[in-house]
Structure 1
Amino acid sequence: MKKRIVILAAILTMVGLTPSSAHVGANLRGFSDVAGQSSTVYLRLGHGCTDGKNYFGTSSFEVVVPIEAGTPRPEFKAGWRAKVVPSAEKNDKGVALSNKITWTAKSPLQAIDHGTFAEFAFQVRWSAAITAVTKVAFPTTQVCKRGLQDFDTKKKAPNDFFLKWIITDGSTLAATADTEFGPAPTVTVKPAA
Structure 2
Amino acid sequence: DQALVEFGLAMGPFAVSDLAGLEIGWATRKRQAATRPSEERYVAIADRICEREWYGRKTGQGFYVYPESGKPYANPEVDVIIQEERQKAGVTPREFSNDEIVARFTTAMISEALRVLEEGIALRPIDIDATFLFGYGFPRFRGGPMHYANTVGVPNLIQSIETWSIEDAHFWKVPDLLSQLNKDSADIASLN
Structure with the larger helix share: 2
TM-score, normalization by structure 1 = 0.24
Higher relative contact order (CA closer than 8 Å, sequence separation 6+): 1
Structure with the higher strand share, 1 or 2:
1
Instruction: State the TM-score, normalized to the length of structure 2.
Output: 0.24
